[in-house]
């Protein structure tokens, strides 16, 4: 237990105090917060479905909450289907496709309709490689490279009026990401850490011209497993976003920032090869540049089926 505390504290100190930037408007799939990136070996297939609900209702200016009139609240309901398959002993291919049931901004203005986007989001493909595995000390290090493809709905209109970029279901441009994952287990306890970066291409559609700032994230967590049937854990996630830019290389001052989340996790084996999981993301520290609407909470539930074709 002492080891865990020290580990979490190191990560906390490593993330707080960095010069931080964040972003306000966000098209496309939400960032993945997955923690299950342990290499499962060749010919292992995982198929999963997830549902995520997110709710935002508080404006922040730097690290202070502010009362603002026009946007009352925002929320989305998002689902995804994902596949992970061990193509070689150390290599895994992952694919994901997202769908927004809704992506809504509610306005506190008379005669003003809510902006509601919905439809297919982004697809992502990721190649993961197990860089090192120590069987004696039970730890492993892997890396991943991936791309998010704007296959879904963008430039969406309602009654011939284009929706704002914030509620467009797809990203409207390619995004590239890379990550490094560390996992160590000792008895029933596992510690993990995931460092990732996401870089967006400029959106240059019929209507929008926008480039999101890079996102750097560090997740770290501890999970306790009871008899391979029930796992409970907690994850700390620091998310740092650089400022966005718009046409003529103008920097968007009210974008970018740093948010730290705390996320309790629960997963259960419900039958042989079938798993269910849930988590809730609660922001515990927010710092945004200038003035932005920030997330109040999000929660997700998911189911996964695992197959092993190597037997």
Residues that bind another protein (CB under 8 A): 23-25, 45, 59, 68-71, 83, 85, 93, 95, 97, 105, 107, 109, 111-113, 115, 120, 123, 125, 149-151, 157, 159-162, 164-165, 206-210, 244, 246-247, 250, 252-255, 290-293, 307, 309
HSE-CB for 301 with a 13 A CA cutoff = 3
Residue 19 DSSP SS3: coil
Beta bridge partners of 255: none
Alpha-carbon Rg for the chain, nearest whole angstrom, is: 20
Distance, in Å, from the CA atom of 72 to the CA atom of 297, rounded to the nearest integer, reads: 16
Minimum distance from residue 92 beta carbon to another protein (Å): 13
Question: What are the φ and ψ backbone dihedral angles of 72, each rounded to 5 degrees?
Answer: -80, -50
Say if CB 288 and CB 36 are below 8 A apart: no
Minimum distance from residue 58 beta carbon to another protein (Å): 13
Residue nearer to another protein on the CB measure, 33 or 244: 244
Residue nearer to another protein on the CB measure, 12 or 291: 291
Minimum distance from residue 191 beta carbon to another protein (Å): 32
Residue nearer to another protein on the CB measure, 60 or 216: 60
Residue nearer to another protein on the CB measure, 39 or 244: 244
Type and span of the H or E element at 9: helix 2-15
Residue nearer to another protein on the CB measure, 140 or 242: 242
Minimum distance from residue 239 beta carbon to another protein (Å): 17
Residue 154 DSSP SS3: coil
Minimum distance from residue 250 beta carbon to another protein (Å): 6
* Measured CA angle at 173 (ends 171, 176), to 5 deg: 95
Phi-psi region of 243 (alpha: psi -120 to 50; beta: other; left: phi over 0): beta
HEC secondary structure over 289-310? EEEEEEEEEEEEEEEEEEEECC
Say if CB 122 and CB 170 are below 8 A apart: yes
Residue nearer to another protein on the CB measure, 59 or 192: 59
Residues whose CB falls within 8 Å of the CB of residue 115, separated by 6 or more in sequence, listed in order: 104, 105, 107, 158, 163, 164, 166, 167
Minimum distance from residue 201 beta carbon to another protein (Å): 12
Residue nearer to another protein on the CB measure, 59 or 261: 59
Residue nearer to another protein on the CB measure, 95 or 282: 95
Minimum distance from residue 308 beta carbon to another protein (Å): 11
Minimum distance from residue 86 beta carbon to another protein (Å): 11
């Amino acid at each position: 237990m002492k080891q865990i505390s020290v580990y979490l504290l190191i990560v906390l100190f490593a993330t707080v105090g960095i010069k931080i930037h964040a972003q306000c408007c966000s098209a496309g799939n939400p960032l993945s917060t997955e923690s299950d990136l342990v290499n499962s070996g060749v010919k292992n297939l995982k198929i999963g479905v997830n549902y995520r609900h997110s709710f935002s209702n508080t404006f922040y200016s730097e690290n202070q909450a502010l009362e603002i009139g026009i946007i009352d609240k925002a929320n989305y309901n998002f689902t995804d289907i994902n596949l992970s398959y061990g193509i070689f002993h150390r290599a895994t291919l992952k694919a994901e496709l997202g769908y927004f049931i809704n992506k809504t901004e509610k306005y506190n203005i008379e005669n003003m309709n809510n902006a509601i986007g919905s439809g297919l989001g982004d697809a992502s493909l990721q190649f993961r490689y197990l860089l090192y595995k120590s069987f004696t000390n039970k730890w492993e290090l892997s890396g991943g490279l991936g791309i998010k493809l704007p296959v879904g709905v963008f430039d969406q209109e309602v009654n011939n009026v284009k929706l704002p970029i914030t509620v467009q279901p797809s990203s409207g441009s390619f995004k590239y990401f890379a990550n490094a994952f560390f996992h160590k287990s000792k008895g029933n306890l596992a510690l993990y850490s995931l460092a990732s970066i996401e870089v967006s291409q400029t959106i240059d559609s019929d209507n929008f011209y926008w480039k999101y700032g890079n996102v750097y994230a560090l997740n770290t967590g501890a999970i306790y497993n009871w008899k391979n049937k029930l796992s409970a854990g907690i994850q700390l996630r620091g998310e740092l976003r650089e400022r966005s830019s718009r046409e003529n290389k103008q920097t968007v001052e009210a974008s970018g920032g740093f948010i730290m989340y705390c996320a309790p996790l629960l997963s259960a084996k419900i039958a042989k090869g079938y798993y269910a999981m849930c988590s809730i993301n609660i922001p515990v520290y927010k710092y945004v540049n200038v003035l932005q609407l920030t997330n109040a909470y999000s929660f997700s539930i998911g189911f996964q089926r695992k197959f092993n074709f190597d037997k």
